[in-house]
Amino acid sequence: MHLPGIAALVAASANLFGQQSTRASAFEVASVKPADPNILRSRGFSCGFLPSGRFQGLGNLRWFVACAYEIRAAQSGEQIVGAPKWAEDDVFEIRATFAPSELTASQRLSMLQTLLADRFKLVVHRERREVPAYALVIARKDGRLGPQLQPTPESARIGSRMGGRAAPP
């Protein structure tokens, strides 16, 4: 396992700002072990809190940072910068336990953030960046979407499923 401190820059997405930093206690017991990269072929990346009071994860450090800071995996390449090569190459298995009380989602994520800081010496710096983006615009002069397209209902939008926070574009 590589232990030199790393600094990962998490470029701001809309859901990173405006969150209150509610620090929860650390995991009761946590195990971070190097894993065989070939295991990803059969099990795949994972990162999840179970109702029984357990956390289980399998992946590289970039995956765990994306999980801990609610960054979509597809956007982690643009939003997590400055990490060393081993953060992408080395695979780890993390298992941890916590008291299955009524912790909020942000408190659970805070526990994972604390674990990453303790075990990997992770330092995170958040900043806003301009990144390339595509805008879908209506090309028709009458403003209609066309026969095969419909507006997304409010209840199906990503931000509404995330507790009202705006999702990154």
pLDDT digits (tens, 9 = 90+) for 30-83: 999 999 988 888 898 999 999 899 999 999 999 999 999 999 877 788 888 889
pLDDT above 60: residue 15: no
Q: Is residue 168 part of a domain?
A: no
Q: Examine residue 149 and state whether it is found in any structural domain, yes or no.
A: no
CB atoms inside a 10 Å sphere around CB 120 = 22
Is residue 157 one of the residues assigned to a domain? no
The total domain count for the chain is 1
At a CB cut-off of 8 Å and minimum separation 6, what does 74 contact?
A: none
The percent of residues in the chain predicted with pLDDT above 90, rounded, is: 40
Q: What is the span of the domain harbouring residue 125?
A: 6-137
The pair of three-digit structure tokens given for residue 4, joined into one six-digit string: 């030199």
What stretches of the chain adopt beta strand conformation (E)? 6-11, 29-35, 46-50, 54-59, 80-81, 91-97, 122-127
| Residue 143 placed within a domain | no
**Is this prediction's pTM over 0.85?**
no
